[in-house]
Amino acid sequence: MDNKQLEEIESFATQLCYDAGQILLDYFQKPISVDYKSKDQTNPVTEADKRSEEYLRESIIKAFPGHGILAEEGSQVNAEDSDCMWVIDPLDGTTNFVNGFPMFGASIGVLDKGVPVVGCVFLPSPKDVKGDVFHARKGGGAFRNSESINVSSDKKPRRSRVSVFPAAYQQNFRFKDEFRQSFGDLRSPGSTVYEIAMTACGVMQYAMFAHPWIWDVAAGIVLVKEAGGVVLNPKNNYSSWESFAGFKGSDGIDLSPADLESCRSPWLFSNSDIASFITRNLIPRSSLGRKVSSIMRRWF
């Protein structure tokens, strides 16, 4: 895509994300029926999720009928002749939403041949009852509404700064003393898109994730990169971390929609200095060490 096409898609996606946010706010903190996608009732879905996704799907099909769509709640449009795929999370943080906790979001990421090129995230805002939209396109910078945003400028994590670090990483890694002393003040807001957007604007100094879905990260990848940050994935059983280039197969071939839907991996979002500090202070556990750590966590 050339820059003109990216500008057009970013502008449309920004308005679309805002509109989806208004749908969510119309339901928020009101009585709402909840269904569960899992038997243990830990994966809720509401009418708000479905309404938001339906609106996004229909709007994209109307404006860009040749593009593909992949969405969390099942909407899928295969477009074999198009390089463009819209990846949608109509409501991330549904448990927060159902409980009236205002940390949730709607996310729209656009892939061009598997590479995230446009990202938009709607979040509730303490400053504006209608919320905020974080948006970015490849090469165009990142914004919170109309205000330019940047990742944290700190050289290494600070204790007084907020960070996102998954508990599962304690099973997979040991930590050098320097990192143990500066994890930061750890938080788990319960919405991946919220946490990544907060990292893009410097509120959180870094965010690490164990294995989120593609619709949780597609938009945030663009936001953080365009806000001056880096996005890393581990390689070779966590022995190294590399800059994320795109959702591709091991042979460099574009992934099918089914492969994209099942694509999950660990992530690190931050500025380059903090990312370098973290990755050189993580020591991957052996397979035996991971098993022992898992058993210890269950016991204690």
Helix (H, G, I), strand (E, B) or coil at 85: strand
Residue 40 has pLDDT above 70, yes or no: no
34-to-44, 46, 106, 202, 300 alpha-carbon distances in Å: 6, 5, 18, 34, 33
DSSP state of 254: B
| Domain stop point among 148, 173, 206 | 148
Percent of the chain with pLDDT strictly greater than 90: 58
204 and 81 assigned to the same domain: no
Report which of residues 78 and 121 the model is more confident about. 121
Q: Let me know if residue 75 belongs to a domain.
A: yes
Q: In 64-124, which residue ranges form alpha helices assigned H by DSSP? A: 94-98
The number of distinct structural domains making up the chain is 2
pLDDT in tens, 6-25: 999 999 999 999 999 999 99
Name the band, by pLDDT with cuts 50, 70 and 90, for residue 287: low
Per mean pLDDT, which range of 30-34, 226-230, 244-248, 296-300 is the poorest?
296-300
Close Cβ partners of 168 (under 8 Å, ≥ 6 residues apart): 210
279 and 169 assigned to the same domain: yes
- B/e letters for 165-179, b = 16+ CB within 10 Å, e = fewer, are bbeeeebbbeeeeeb
Report which of residues 180 and 52 the model is more confident about. 52
Mean pLDDT over 223-243 rounds to: 92
Cα gap 229→200, rounded to integer Å:
7
Helix (H, G, I), strand (E, B) or coil at 19: helix
106 and 167 assigned to the same domain: no
Mean pLDDT over 91-106 rounds to: 93
Per-residue pLDDT, 291: 57
65 and 24 assigned to the same domain: yes
Could you tell me the residue range of the domain that residue 49 belongs to?
A: 3-148
Cα gap 46→7, rounded to integer Å:
33
Per-residue pLDDT, 19: 97
Per-residue pLDDT, 1: 82
At 119, the amino acid letter reads G
Per-residue pLDDT, 39: 59
Q: Let me know if residue 169 belongs to a domain.
A: yes
Name the band, by pLDDT with cuts 50, 70 and 90, for residue 231: very high
Q: Mean pLDDT over all residues of the chain?
A: 87
Degrees to nearest 5, angle at CA 38 with 217 and 98: 70
pTM value? 0.90
Tokens 């197969």 identify what position?
A: 249
Strands in 25-170 per DSSP E: 34-36, 44-46, 68-71, 76-77, 84-92, 105-112, 115-123, 132-137, 142-144, 147-148, 162-164
